[in-house]
Amino acid sequence: MTERNPVDGRNLTGVWHGLYTYPDGISVSFVATLIEAGRSVTGSVHEPCTVGGSPNETISATLSGSRSDSAVRFLKTYEGTNPHYGSVHYEGTLNHDGTEVEGRWTVPRNWSGKFLMIRSGGAAETVARKSAVRA
């Protein structure tokens, strides 16, 4: 049984489809699997390799963070030894019905951009459409 967040009934546990956008406007799609227990959020991410590898390669990362009301924060830490990938901070806002998280990602002292995640269930098309509208 899925544990509910004590602050409200929206739980982040599930599969999310998303996009994050670099400062130059290039977007990268990803799939995140989140598990929320109490206020803690953990999970994993899979996305195409965009820096320092083959574009046909999939890279993985782990997530660790928290949620308080609608505020969602997590650290994405890439796995492997590729020097182009490290850790990325994400801060976003969960919408009122618990189906979207939108916010900013930051690589400290380097750069940042926007991200959008939509709960799975026809989400891949919706993410692309909403990202195009919000860009």
- Tell me the domain boundaries of the chain: 14-134
pLDDT at residue 2 in the model: 46
Rounded mean pLDDT, 57-61: 90
Q: Would you state the CATH architecture of domain 14-134?
A: Beta Barrel (2.40)
- Residue 69 — very low, low, confident or very high, per pLDDT cuts 50/70/90? very high
Helix (H) / strand (E) element for 101: namely: strand 100-107
Neighbours of 92 (CB within 10 A): 22
